[in-house]
Structure 1
Amino acid sequence: MFVSSNLKCFIVLAREKSLKKASEILFVTSSPISRRIKLFEDELGYKLFSRSDHDFTLTKKGLELYEKIMPYYMKISEIEASFSQKNNSLSIKRSLMIGVENLNHFLFNILIKKRKKTESISYCSSDASRSLDSLLSGEVQAVISHREIDENGITAMEFYSEPVCYLQANSTERYKVSDMKKIPIIIPRNGFHEHYIKTAHMKILNACPNAQVVIVDDIDNYLFLIKSGDAIGLMSESMVLFYKNKNCFNSELNYTIEHSFPALKTYIYCLKECEKNLKMAMDSILSESEHGDAGCVRGN
């Protein structure tokens, strides 16, 4: 509100020292951040960062600027927060910060697409271990999560729902789970929360007790095995489409929806007293039904 986008990008990137992490916090892709830093450097007339492949380190002049401006930045941020609280009924619809657990490329794309209709809403990456604390403290006004959270005073709305699929090469498309004794099934942690992974694991073993289930952090490094028919991936439909489009595997890979698995649901949580304001701010999102009925409220 009171801080320029160029300055905000500089502060966040200086603090995080990582373009990827800054992108998650500011909820924009890395290119706009790089452009804003370049514009800021051009305005100042000197370099703010020395760059490596993955890290950004402040130059001597950049560090000097950061140390001098940080106290003022913090003060302006406090004034901005105070102003927003005093004008809560007006400002919450204009400015809403939502924490997102397990922020990954495919969920990022979904939110960016929806954000076109709600440009006043901002997103940030949220650690599952701190999400509730961030919500209760007012650091964020809502949290998006795959988890089912049952806490007094917190309301949940179904934000997104989609089926779970098997991604497989054309050569393995005819196989059923019960036939997959020699082909490993890969479940990625960046696609599901822990409870769902356990549920999926048990369902696969119930269908085929001798199945090889491999749980990995990120399936991106195993796509070549799926493409060659040496493995099968279990993931959400949006994740499947993301990887198929990204890697141009449309002619080599197919996916089948696994109807025996429960739908993967994503919820948005807020404090019960903020429910009305959140609905007002997110009306254009919660009224959408691209992948299922959204806006189903269950209060605790």
Structure 2
Amino acid sequence: MILLSKTLRYFIVTAQEQSIRMAALILCITPSPLCRTIKIFELNLGHKLFTRTNNGLKLTNYGRDLYATLLPLYQEICEIEKKVIKKTHQIQSGKSSLKIGLDHRDYSYLSPFLSSPVFKDTKNNISLEYFTSDETDIGDILNKGLCQIFFTQKKIQCPPGLLHQALSTDTIMLAVKSDLKTEDYSQNELFMNKILVQYEANKNEEIFDDIEGYIAKNQLNPKRVFIPELYVQLSMIEKGDAIGLMPSSIINIINDRNFKVKFIPFDCDDKKLVIERHIYYTRAYQAFMEEKMMPLITNHDDKCLTG
């Protein structure tokens, strides 16, 4: 860590993992100093941040609010720190890095790859680069070497010298607490008296116009809160405080983190809402795509989709 506060990093990672043991593994420390740092942080704040349950740690209301407040700052510092470290490394070693471009903040489909040793191994020097979706020329970005692989929801005419892979489509699902007996409720009743947390929309994405049209047509008027962090959304759904509209690929994250959340099909006026997924890449990375990346992101585990 160069710019990050140890206390901030320990708190964010513990909040995301909801487990002292898992957080300590990720942070490469033993549980004792992690518990001690969190305890000192709580004493300095004058508030409890976590409570212990049979399923691990849960954020308190104060902890959840603090996490939502600090996360954007944490992510921004992480990005700055990555760039500082990367630039230093390139100056020292002269080695190039693999950059994966995205034109949106939803990378649930990539989560199996991002949590794999291939991505985490620093020797591979892989990083994510974000671009504004409505101004992104994917072909130009790849041809100029700003990225070598680009992950997007847009289908474009593949420029000369680049390769394209169409992935399985993603479907918007209704996420609810896993023990909720959904057969006892109509879909509209599930929206009543619940907070709705919603997958982040991209500009010009038609499925969100469909969702808004459905909500208005059925006069649902659900309560809404803006919580950009997926882990906080899933925690609220797991507790039964909220429901969510999310792409089916988030099941990768639900299974990986053992959230007690299940998906049921969302019927939007007798149709499914589908998100396309595409990857464009340079020929130099064809072997990497076929051997290391594609086997991970195409191996979906849908055991929690409806049960």
**Structure 1's 150 and 31: CA in aligned 2 closer, same or farther, altered over 3 A?**
farther
Given the alignment, which residue of 102, 108, 111 partners 1:109? 111
**Structure 1's 267 and 173: CA in aligned 2 closer, same or farther, altered over 3 A?**
same
**Structure 1's 14 and 108: CA in aligned 2 closer, same or farther, altered over 3 A?**
farther
Verify the 8 A CA contact 2:102 2:151 in the aligned structure 1: yes
C-alpha distance in 2, partners of 1:103/1:115?
Answer: 22
C-alpha distance in 1, partners of 2:197/2:174?
Answer: 10
Provide, for residues 64-101 of structure 1, a one-character-per-residue CA deviation record: whole Å limited to 9, x for no partner.
xxx9x999855446x435xxxxxxxxxxxxx7432244
Q: CA deviation at 1:145?
A: 2.2
Given the alignment, which residue of 238, 259, 264 partners 2:275? 264
Verify the 8 A CA contact 2:170 2:276 in the aligned structure 1: yes
Given the alignment, which residue of 164, 168, 186 partners 1:176? 186
C-alpha distance in 1, partners of 2:289/2:87?
Answer: 33
Given the alignment, which residue of 221, 233, 236 partners 1:212? 221
Aligned residue type for 1:235: M
TM-score w.r.t. the length of structure 1 is 0.52
Q: Does 1:231 align with 2:242?
A: yes
Q: CA deviation at 1:201?
A: 1.5
Q: CA deviation at 1:233?
A: 0.9
Partner of 2:175: 167
Partner of 1:80: 95
Aligned residue type for 2:214: I
**Structure 1's 278 and 204: CA in aligned 2 closer, same or farther, altered over 3 A?**
farther
C-alpha distance in 2, partners of 1:73/1:242?
Answer: 31
Partner of 1:26: none
Verify the 8 A CA contact 2:207 2:273 in the aligned structure 1: no
Q: CA deviation at 1:15?
A: 10
Q: Does 1:123 align with 2:120?
A: no
Work out the percentage of aligned pairs sharing the same amino acid: 14
Q: CA deviation at 1:138?
A: 0.7
Partner of 1:91: none
**Structure 1's 166 and 189: CA in aligned 2 closer, same or farther, altered over 3 A?**
closer
Q: CA deviation at 1:283?
A: 1.1
Q: What 5-or-longer segments of structure 1 have no aligned partner?
A: 1-9, 24-28, 37-52, 56-66, 82-94, 293-300
**Structure 1's 115 and 123: CA in aligned 2 closer, same or farther, altered over 3 A?**
farther
**Higher gyration radius (CA):** 1
Q: CA deviation at 1:165?
A: 1.8
Verify the 8 A CA contact 2:196 2:225 in the aligned structure 1: yes
Aligned counterparts, 1:1-300, within 5 A: 13=2, 75-76=91-92, 79-81=94-96, 96-102=98-104, 106-107=108-109, 109-112=111-114, 116=118, 120=124, 122-129=126-133, 132=138, 134-149=141-156, 153=160, 155-169=163-177, 170-171=179-180, 173-174=182-183, 175-180=185-190, 182-184=192-194, 186-190=196-200, 193-194=202-203, 195=205, 198-202=208-212, 204-205=214-215, 208-212=217-221, 214=224, 216=226, 217-223=228-234, 226-227=237-238, 229-240=240-251, 242-243=253-254, 246=257, 248-249=259-260, 253-258=261-266, 260-270=271-281, 274=282, 276-284=283-291, 285-286=293-294, 289-291=298-300
C-alpha distance in 2, partners of 1:193/1:108?
Answer: 17
Verify the 8 A CA contact 1:106 1:239 in the aligned structure 2: yes
Verify the 8 A CA contact 1:159 1:286 in the aligned structure 2: no
